[in-house]
Amino acid sequence: MADSGATAALQAQRRHVRHGSLARIVFITQLLLIAIICAALSITSYASTRAQMRAATADRVLSIAETLANDPFVTDAVQHDDPSAALQPYALTVMTAADVDFITIMDRDRTRYTHPDPAQLGKPYIGSIGAALEGHSQIEEYAGTLGPSVRAIAPVFDAAGEVTAMVSVGVTLQTISIAQAAAVPQIILIALVAMALGGIGSWILSRYLRRVTLGYGPEQLRRLFAFYDSALHSLREGLILVDDQGQLVLYNDQAAELLGLPTGGEREPIAVSQLRLPASIRSLLSSGRDADDEIHLTSDRVIVVNQKQARQPAGTRIRERGSMGTVATLRDRTDIQELTGELETMTTLSQALRAQTHEHANRLHTVATLIELGREKEALEFAVRDQQESQRLTDSFVQSLDEPFITALMIGKAAQAHERGIRMTITAAGELPPDSLDARDLVTVTGNLLDNALDAAASSDERHVWADFSVSDGELTITIADSGPGLDTGTIDTIFHLGESSKAAPAVGGGRGYGLVLVRQAVSRLGGTLEIESDGGAIFTVTLPLTSRRDAEHAGRGRT
């Protein structure tokens, strides 16, 4: 019941998101805007058409009036005793042919000689005639017997140049309105076509916006951005977003710290190939393939990388064609890997000590048996010889290196080698100043190299391991060699170029996984060097600079 209720609530929320989506808001807003613009343009167009029609009508009636005023027939007829008899039929004929509503020819005192309504003949003309009496044509809108009209009045001159009559030609506003109404369907059609095209364009844009915004509304997008941005920068893991063009578009602060990228991941996209990244990580990000817990190495870090294809959220109706890019997460396993290496070293040391204890128990049992047999002299010689051998090894390290961790490690490794049937030659020379090297890093370097050497020597015929510690000229040189098959060139190149290979970290060193990787990183932390040779067997030479506590204190006083 709870699951069904949650599902119903989620579906209701998605319906609400779709109803108030950014695409829907933009679509409705654009439709309203297009409708308003089309209505405004239609009104403007209608008003412009009306003005143009009135101007064209005014020009036309003025041209007709001036033509009739200069017509010799009209000039002669107005001087007869009965001008209407000749001019009325003529005016009606011209009115029909010119498609005007009235032609009125009048005397100077406004007496009409012609009119569309014969009952108006002889009556005074209604309108302005002042300009015509002065010999000028004029145009005006005036309400006469036929209603409001656009009319033109032109003077008729006699032979002496005097105004003897006037001609008025007009078209009623009703006729003009009918002509304007004929243009309305065209204006409406154009407006509808514009709205249809605008609506189609808005619909296409809204579909695009709905696809890229996943149907979310402005407020939802604002909240999502705030949440995602906060989550991005609060993650303890590194996060990298790469688009389908192989460009780095976003990364968080942890990713910047792990990979040495500039802080502030919100910047212009940049091609992954142009970034200064370890080659294996750059190759993974550029490939776009899925990756699960892949180990990649930098000069000082062990990074676990997961990468997945970017996909649309589940439940959306939008389907994206092709890849949208990848999302990669990075976890720093350097400390865990170091602790794992130290744990392996301590486990090995513990096993070696247990083996040594077992061996000593056997030897004590032998001594006890010899005593019981009454062979005290042989028992004493056996015990002294065994004690001298162990003491010699202990004394050589205490007198030279005086490092308890290394001394305990080497005694345990010697017992482990003896138990595995491997001959181990250990030498030490010089004096190691107290606290000159970090004991944990020193155990990591020595323990992992010896473990690899013992594993490699176990498969050889000679079954021999050499370990030499030499202190001279302010440096500790550790040389570990074995009689095993040696290392191939590819393995040596991988160790020397951590993070610069296009492949993920391989397992090396006799199945020890990343033991040599930890050695390389520990040597780097101590500021030393690592050299590898393969001459019948592997030879590892580690050179570490020494800094005594006295030198450190002296350097500190010099800075103050």
For residue 340, the model assigns a pLDDT of 66
Other CB atoms within 10 A of residue 413 CB: 26
Q: What is the mean pLDDT of the chain?
A: 76
In a domain, 523, yes or no: yes
Would 509 be classed as within a structural domain?
A: yes
Q: Which of 353, 259, 337 is nearest to 299 (CA)?
A: 259
Reduce the DSSP state of residue 37 to 3 states and report it.
helix
Name the residue with tokens 């319906």: 15
Model confidence at 169: pLDDT above 80: yes
Q: Among candidates 164, 141, 146, 140, which has minimal Cα distance to 70?
A: 164
Q: Cα–Cα distance between 266 and 250 in angstroms, integer?
A: 6
Residues 249, 192 share a domain: no
Residues 31 and 113 in one domain: yes
Give the C-alpha separation, 458 to 464, whole Å. 8
Residue-number span of the structural domain to which 294 is assigned: 235-332
User: Both 39 and 159 in a single domain?
Assistant: yes
**What residues does 139 pair with on adjacent strands?**
152
Q: What is the mean predicted confidence (pLDDT) over 13-25?
A: 59
Which of 230, 255, 280 is the last residue in one of the domains?
230
Q: What's the CATH number where 440 sits? A: 3.30.565.10
Comparing 95-104, 198-207, 380-389, 481-490, the range with the smallest average pLDDT is 380-389
Q: Do 54 and 191 fall into the same domain?
A: yes
Start-to-end C-alpha separation, the chain: 73
Residues 150 and 120 in one domain: yes
Q: Which helix (H) or strand (E) holds 25?
A: helix 22-69
For residue range 451-461, what is the model confidence (pLDDT) as tens digits?
889 888 988 88
pTM: 0.48
Task: Provide the token pair at 456.
Answer: 């490699």
Q: Residue 125's domain is classified under what CATH number? A: 3.30.450.20
Note whether 163 and 226 are same-domain residues: no
In a domain, 436, yes or no: yes
CB-CB contact of 446 with 463 (8 Å)? no
Could you tell me which of 504, 554, 489, 558 has the C-alpha nearest to residue 282?
Answer: 504
Residues 92, 159, single domain; the answer is yes
Give whichever of 35-39, 89-93, 204-208, 426-430 has the largest mean pLDDT: 89-93
State residue 402's pLDDT score: 64
316, 453: one domain? no
Q: If DSSP codes are grouped into helix, strand and coil, which group holds residue 131?
A: helix
Tally the domains of the chain.
Answer: 4
Exposure class string for 506-538: b at 16+ Cβ within 10 A, else e = eebbbebbbbbbbbbbbbeebebebebeeeebb
CA distance 549 to 434: 7
* Over residues 149-156, mean pLDDT: 88
Q: Phi, psi (5° rounding) for residue 328? A: -120, 135
pLDDT in tens, 271-287: 888 788 888 888 888 88
Q: Kindly state the percentage of the chain with pLDDT values over 90.
A: 5
**Residue found under tokens 């089309």:** 38
In a domain, 380, yes or no: yes
Q: Which residues contact 147 (CB under 8 A, 6 or more apart)?
A: 172, 173, 174
* Domain shared by 421 and 315, yes or no: no
**Same domain assignment for residues 108 and 179:** yes
Residue predicted with more confidence, 12 or 226 = 226
Higher-scoring residue by pLDDT: 479, 22:
479
**Domain end marker among 332, 353, 386:** 332
Q: Look at residue 207 and tell me if it is in a domain.
A: yes
Q: Using one digit for the tens of pLDDT, what is the confidence trace for 31-67?
A: 888 888 888 887 887 777 778 788 888 888 889 888 8
- pLDDT exceeds 70 at position 509: no
Within a domain: 138:
yes
> Are both 453 and 535 inside the same structural domain?
yes
- 306, with CB counted inside 10 A (0-12, 13-18, 19+), is middle
Whether 416 is in a domain gets the answer yes
Residue 560 forms part of a structural domain: no
Last residue of a domain, one of 309, 332, 355: 332
Question: Can you tell me the distance from the alpha carbon of 87 to that of 77, in angstroms, rounded to the nearest whole number?
Answer: 7
Residues 202 and 269 grouped into a single domain = no
Residue 481 pLDDT more than 90? Answer: yes
Query: 224-265: per-residue pLDDT in tens?
Result: 767 677 677 677 788 888 888 888 888 888 888 888 887 765
d(CA 336, CA 333): 5
Q: How far apart are CA 232 and CA 546, in angstroms?
A: 43
